[in-house]
Amino acid sequence: MNIPIVSPQNAGRLVRAVRKTEQLRQDDASGAMGVSDVFLWKLERGSPGVRLDKLLQVFHALGIKLSAEVSDDAADLYHALMAASATRAKRRKSQPAKDAPT
């Protein structure tokens, strides 16, 4: 089922609902997710200051899939940017280190 997330409160309520559906206590869940009890407590209460990387970590641990609906033009540009980034990363890996003896 798709649930719109338009506020920190929506995200927190969703996390709490999924956690409770899985019958996980907050302290057990936070430990398994690699976040602190305090972070999960704040997240579930809709605190607006949670870190995006930690939110995504919790979503992943609970099996919550996050996606964005965008225009076709924005999606095409996104894919082009991701491809360019991957190409640059490959190029950097294939270059010898500057300190390596030649």
What the block records as the tokens of 58 is 């919790």
pTM: 0.79
How many residues in total does the chain contain? 102
- Confidence band of 97 (pLDDT split at 50, 70, 90): low
**Reported confidence tier of residue 46, pLDDT bands at 50, 70, 90:** very high
Residues 65-94 have pLDDT tens digits of 999 999 999 999 999 999 999 988 888 888
Q: Hey, what are 91's tokens?
A: 């190029």
Domains by residue range for the chain, with CATH: 8-62 (1.10.260.40)
Contact between 37 and 26 (Cβ < 8 Å): yes
Q: Is 46 left (phi over 0), alpha (psi -120 to 50) or beta?
A: left
| 98 — pLDDT class (breaks 50, 70, 90) | low
